[in-house]
């Protein structure tokens, strides 16, 4: 039996970045905070943003891009 289970162990399938981590890396928190406040969301003045704020921001960007593509055709 291997007393140190990390030696030769396979990485856990969920050990990669979560969707939230990918979103927070892709978008600047100050930009997302400004976007959220412009839509009437009340946020703490400092600290991290809730996951749903990043998700809403990403969804609006995707919608705007889809609208732009549809309008260009």
Tell me the two tokens of residue 38: 């412009």
42 vs 62: CA distance, rounded Å: 23
Q: What confidence score (pLDDT) does residue 10 get?
A: 59
Task: Report, as an integer, the average pLDDT of 27-52.
Answer: 89
Domain ranges of the chain: 19-72
- Give per-residue pLDDT as tens, 44-73: 888 888 888 988 998 999 899 889 888 776
Between 26 and 68, residue with greater pLDDT: 68
Tell me the two tokens of residue 14: 């969920």
Q: Computed over its alpha carbons, how large is the radius of gyration of the chain?
A: 19
- Which residue bears the tokens 């705007």? 64
Q: What confidence score (pLDDT) does residue 39 get?
A: 95
What pTM does this model have? 0.62
């Amino acid at each position: 039996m291997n007393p140190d289970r990390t030696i030769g162990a396979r990485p856990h399938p969920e050990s990669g970045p979560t969707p939230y981590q990918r979103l927070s890396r892709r978008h600047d928190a100050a930009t997302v905070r400004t976007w959220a406040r412009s839509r009437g969301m009340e946020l703490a003045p400092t600290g991290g943003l809730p996951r749903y704020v990043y998700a809403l921001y990403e969804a609006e960007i995707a919608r705007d891009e889809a609208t732009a593509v549809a309008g260009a055709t």
